[in-house]
Amino acid sequence: MLRIGYCNSSRHFLYVLLTTIMTYLMTSKCSETFLLNYFVLSTLTEKLIDFKEKLNFIFVYCAPWQISWGSAFHAIAQPFCIPHSAILVVQCLISALLNSPLMPLLGSAAFISSYPRPIKFWEKNYNTKRIDNTNVQLQAQINEFHCGLDDNNLNAIFYEHLTRVLQTSLCGEIQLG
């Protein structure tokens, strides 16, 4: 309960609302205590939302409407569309249950599930300290400064900045609809 509250507090109201409805409006045969209902419903709701987000990712990534109609690819791809989409839905369901990300296989419409990754709800601010000649003493540069360390650190700072910019622009696009 605490993990979900800290990890995704924007959905906390949804979980409490669903739990209240299940606990007080349903019969006592189907319903357990409030805490047990909260645990089950928050887990199921989180998995369903994750499943929906993964399906949206697959639909946007594959985007069959972007290919021109009447092409040779459509003549070949359309008969295989239905079994392939059923496999993708099953794979997306398994990936949502295991909490593992979906990755496109070599840029194609086939996806593979990666290994499950934990959610770091306790670490929101990924601070990376830049190490270069402006903030390291000259003696430390001569004695201890490694060449490869600078490149890796600058890459981390670049990707940290890039993810923040993408998060804000994506948030703005989602708000605009």
Chain segment 69-95, per-residue pLDDT in tens: 666 666 666 666 667 777 778 888 888
Residue 102: φ, ψ to 5°: -95, 135
94 occurs within a structural domain: no
> Do 111 and 105 meet the contact criterion of CB atoms below 8 Å apart?
yes
**Chain mean position to CA 88:** 17
Domain of residue 145, residue span = 125-177
pLDDT tier, 40 (very low <50, low <70, confident <90, very high otherwise):
confident
- pLDDT at residue 44, as a whole number: 86
* Alpha carbons 56 and 58: distance in angstroms, whole number: 5
Q: Per the domain annotation, does 134 fall within a domain? A: yes
Q: Is 69 inside any structural domain?
A: no
Residue 110, pLDDT score: 63
Residue 87 belongs to a domain: no
65 belongs to a structural domain:
no
| 143 within some domain | yes
Of the pLDDT bands very low, low, confident and very high (cuts 50, 70, 90), residue 137 is low
Kindly tell me if the per-residue pLDDT of 23 is higher than 60.
yes
**Does 59 reside within a domain?**
no
Any domain includes 163 = yes
Q: How many structural domains are present in the chain?
A: 1
Share of the chain above pLDDT 70, in %: 48
Provide the whole-model pTM.
0.53
Model pLDDT, residue 10: 75
